Amino acid sequence: MTRRPRSTYRLQITSRFTLDEAAELLPYLRALGVDWVYCSPLLAAAPGSSHGYDVVDATHVDPARGGREGLERLAAAAHGLGMGVLVDIVPNHMGVGVPEVNAWWWDVLRLGPASAWAPAFDIDWAAGNGRLRIPVLGEAVEDAAASGALRIEDGELRYHEHRYPLAPGTEPLAAPLEGHAAQHYELVHWTRADAELNYRRFFAVNELAALRVEAPEVFDATHREILAWVGERLVDGLRVDHPDGLAAPGRYLDRLARETDDAYVVVEKILERGEELPPHWATAGTTGYDALGEYDRVLVDPAGEAQLDALDAELRGGPVEWPDMVHEAKRAVADGILGSEGRRLVRDLLAEEPVLGDAERLADAVAELLACFPVYRSYLPYGSAHLERAAADARRRRPELGAELDAVLPILRDGRRPSAIRFQQTTGMVMAKGVEDTAFYRTSPLASLTEVGGDPAEFCIDVPEFHRRQEARLARWPASMTTLTTHDTKRGEDTRARITALAEIPDEWAAFVRRRRAAFSIGDGPFEHLLWQTLVGAWPREREALHGYAEKAAREAATSTSWTRPDAAFEARLHELVDRAFDDPETRGDLEAIVARLAAAGWSNGLAAKLLQLAGPGIPDVYQGSELWERSLVDPDNRRPVDFDERRRVLGELESGVVPAPGPDGAAKLLVVMRTLRARRDEPERFDRYRPLDAVGPAADHAIAVDRGGALVVATRLPIGLERRSGWADTLLLAPSGRYRDAFTGALAEIDGAVSVARLLRRLPVALLLREDA
C-alpha cells in the first residue's frame, strides 16, 4: 500500500538553508508532531535562485542546496526518525535566463533546430524565420552594437553581462551585427516578447522556457534523477508544480504513477469554485488552495458584506461586478503580455485549417475565448462544458465575432488536435496572470478573500456549507493536501485572519479609511483600500517589507502604475503613504488603534483556522515558520528566512509545562499546532470520520464543531460579535457522551450529551477534545 503522510511541513531549501540544515531541523519537526518533511525543488537551479523553480540541469541535485549527498543525509535522518520526505518537482519548464548554465538551452542557441535538445522545448521556429527570439535588449540592436554593449568576446556573443554561444562556422565573424545576424537566435527588444515571442514560457516569465514533457525522451531526461530518488527510497512522495502547463496532465500523472510504483503524489492544481479535480487522475489530490478558501470563508461575518461592498463602490465611483473585472483583466493579459501565445494559437489553427478566416479577427476571437474561460483549463474530453460556457459568454460579449467563433470551436473541441491542446495549455496562463496577478489587486471589499484559487464573489460560507465541503473532501480525496500558507500565497494566514475580522466592524473600518484618505490620498481609492487592509493585517512589519509589497501590488494591479510603464509620481505618493504609517503621529496612532481593535479577533480567527485545517479531512501542511504568528505578504516576503531558534525555544517552554496566557501571542498557536499534529500522527484513528456537531443557545452561530472519530474539534467564529453578546452564556455543544481531555489545556471534560461551550473555551478560543474512555 502506498505510504501516505499524516502531515507535512514545507521547507524552502536554498543556498542559505541547505538540505543539511533541514536535516538538523528534523528533531524539532518531529517534536512538533510533523510526519513528513516537504522540500521545495532540489534540482540544479539558476545561480542565486531563492525558490528553485528555474531548474537549469535536471540530472543532479543543486550543489548550492546540498547536492545528492545532502539529500541522502536528509533522507537518512528523516527515515531514522520515522518521518517521510516529499519533494516538489517542476516538469513544465526550465530556467533559461542565464544560458551558459543550462546546457540544453545553450546547445539549442548554438545549433538551432539541429540541436538534439531542440525538441525538448516548445519553439515555433517558423515564426522567427528559423531563429529563436530572445527578448533581452534595452535598445535597438544597431545601437547596442554601436555602444559596445553588443560585442563578440572570448568566442561568444555578449550583451552587457549576458552570454550567448556562436554557431559553428560563425566564430571568425568579428563585427557584432554580422555575428548576431548569423546565429540561430535573435536578440530583440524586451517589449517584443508580448507579441512576437516564439517559445512557450511559464506564464509570462521569459526566463522560464516550457518543456515538451509529453515526449517520452523528454520525460526520461528530465525525470531520471527524480525517479532515482524514489527508487532508492530517498524520497517518499512528490508534489507536481503547475500540471496545467503540460500538454496532457492525466497521461503525465499515469506515467509518473507507473514509474514510482504509485508513490504519494499531489498536484498544484488551482480549482475554481464548484470545480472538481479530474477523478481519473493518478494523484492523491491538490496542494490545498481549495481547502484554504473554505477555512477563511467560514470565519467571515456575512453581515459585513453589504457595507464593505458599498465602501468599495464609493471608492471606485460605482459598483463593479467581479466577473466583468475578471474578464477585463484577462482580456488585457490575452492582448498584452500573453499576446504572443494567442498569436501562436492562431498560427496553429491556420496551419490545420488554412481557410478559417482573417488572422487578426481569429486572434480577436481566440483572445475572447481565453478571457471568457471560467476555470484554469479543461482536459478534453473531461471539462468540455467549460469550453461551451466560454463560447456562450464570448458570443454574448462579442456577437460580431460569431463567424470566427463558429470556425475555431469545432477544432478546439477536439482534444486530439494540436491547436486544441495548445489552447488548453494557454487558458491557465491567462487565468493566472489575469486573475491572481491582476484582478486580485484591483478588488478590495475584503482582501483576505483574494487568495490563490479563491473567488472574491463568494464572500463567506455558513457552517453547514463548510461541513458539506469537508465531508466531500473526506469522501473523495481523503489524502489531498490542505494548507493555509504557501510560498505563493498573497498574504500569510494570520495576516488574512486579522483582515477577516474587518467584516465584523465594517462601519468602524469605513470610518478609518475615510479619515486616512481625507488626510492623505494616493488617488486610487480601490488600491488604497487594499493597501490599508494589508497594512492593518500585517502590522507591525518592517518598513522595507511594506514598501516592497506596496510597489509590487500596485504594479500588478496596473491601474495607476505598472511594471512596463511605472508612474513615478504615483509611486512616490504610494511610498509616502507607507512612510506616513511609520512617521506621521496621527496616521500611526490611527493605524495602531484599529490594529488593537482587531488584534484579539485576528488571534482567535488564526487559531480557529489553524485547528480546522490541522484537524480536518486531508493531509495538513504547515508552511515553514507558520507554527508561530504568520504575517507574511506576497513573495519574496513569504520566502524570507525563519527564526527556528525562537520556535525551538517556545516549543521547549511548552514541553516544560508552560501554558500560554490567553491573548494574541504566538505561543498559543504553536501549542495548537504541536498537540494537533501529534494527535494526528500518533493516533490517526481519532481522525477517520467527519460528523458535524450542533450547538444550541444564544451564541450557537459562533461555534463550529465536529466529531472526527475520537477527537472533538471546537472553534470560535465571529469573535467580535461573540464579545458583543457578552460571551457564550449558556450555549451548549451537543456531543457524544464520554470523558474527554483537552489536548491544549489538559482540562478534563465529562460530557453527558451536552457540554457548556464557555467551559470548553475558557482559556483558548479553540479546543481539541481527545476521548479517554473509548
- Per-residue pLDDT of 514-546, as tens digits, reads 999 999 999 999 999 999 999 999 999 999 999
Whether 298 shows a pLDDT value over 70: the answer reads yes
- Same domain? For 316 and 435 the reply is yes
CATH number (domain holding residue 110): 3.30.1590.10
- Same domain? For 407 and 317 the reply is yes
Supply the DSSP string of 631-672, one letter for each residue.
Answer: --BSTTGGGS---HHHHHHHHHHHHTTPPPPSSS-HHHHHHH
> What was the pLDDT predicted at 774?
66
Number of domains making up the chain: 4
- Same domain? For 324 and 420 the reply is yes
- Same domain? For 67 and 103 the reply is no
- Same domain? For 261 and 326 the reply is no
Per-residue confidence band for 111, with pLDDT thresholds at 50, 70 and 90: very high
> What was the pLDDT predicted at 659?
76
> What was the pLDDT predicted at 662?
72
Of the candidates 582, 519, 746, the residue with the CA atom closest to the CA atom of residue 654 = 746
According to DSSP, residue 440 is labeled: G
SS3 of 203-259: the string is CCEEEEEEECCCCHHHHHHHHHHHHHHHHCCCCCEEEECCHHHCCCHHHHHHHHHHH
CATH number (domain holding residue 234): 3.20.20.80
> What was the pLDDT predicted at 1?
54
According to DSSP, residue 167 is labeled: -
Supply the DSSP string of 662-696, one letter for each residue.
Answer: SSS-HHHHHHHHHHHHHHHHH-GGGEEEEEEE-EE
Whether 460 shows a pLDDT value over 60: the answer reads yes
Residue 487 lies in a domain: no
Residue with cell 541535485: 61
> What was the pLDDT predicted at 144?
98
Residue 205 lies in a domain: yes
- Same domain? For 88 and 147 the reply is no
Taking residues 72-99, what's their average pLDDT?
A: 98
Q: Are 618 and 479 in contact (CB under 8 A)?
A: yes
> What was the pLDDT predicted at 664?
72
Domain boundary among 184, 209, 234: 209
C-alpha cell at 327: 474578464
- Same domain? For 141 and 88 the reply is no
- Same domain? For 107 and 228 the reply is no
Residue 130 lies in a domain: yes
Lowest mean pLDDT among 155-169, 569-583, 655-669: 655-669
Can you tell me whether residue 123 is helix, strand or coil? strand
> What was the pLDDT predicted at 658?
80
Instruction: Tell me the pTM.
Output: 0.97
Domain boundary among 441, 470, 491: 441
CA distances 516 to 499, 520, 578, Å, are: 17, 6, 12
> What was the pLDDT predicted at 278?
97
Domain that holds residue 223: 8-92+213-268
Residue 203 lies in a domain: yes
What phi and psi, each to the nearest 5 degrees, are found at residue 692? Answer: -60, 140
Residue 111 lies in a domain: yes
Distance CA 503, CA 516 (A): 19
CA distances 649 to 21, 646, 670, Å, are: 17, 5, 11
Distance CA 423, CA 412 (A): 7
- Same domain? For 150 and 49 the reply is no
Q: For residue 43, list its beta bridge partners.
A: 61
Q: For residue 579, list its beta bridge partners.
A: none
Residue 772 lies in a domain: yes
Q: For residue 622, list its beta bridge partners.
A: 9
> What was the pLDDT predicted at 342?
96
> What was the pLDDT predicted at 747?
95
Could you tell me how many residues make up the chain?
774
Distance CA 461, CA 182 (A): 61
Whether 76 shows a pLDDT value over 70: the answer reads yes
- Same domain? For 227 and 335 the reply is no
- Same domain? For 87 and 122 the reply is no
Of the candidates 92, 157, 102, 101, the residue with the CA atom closest to the CA atom of residue 131 = 157
Domain boundary among 209, 236, 254: 209
> What was the pLDDT predicted at 657?
83
> What was the pLDDT predicted at 525?
97
- Same domain? For 154 and 258 the reply is no
Residue with cell 527564526: 643
Residue 509 lies in a domain: no
C-alpha cell at 405: 467563433
Mean pLDDT of the chain: 97
CA distances 325 to 316, 317, 319, 356, Å, are: 12, 14, 11, 31
> What was the pLDDT predicted at 148?
97
Residue 124 lies in a domain: yes
Helix 322-335 vs helix 418-431: crossing angle, to nearest 10? 120
Whether 665 shows a pLDDT value over 90: the answer reads no
Exposed/middle/buried for 9, CB within 10 Å: 0-12, 13-18, 19+? buried
Of the candidates 63, 76, 100, the residue with the CA atom closest to the CA atom of residue 23 = 76
The predicted-structure confidence for 337-366, as pLDDT tens digits, reads as follows 999 999 999 999 999 999 999 999 999 999
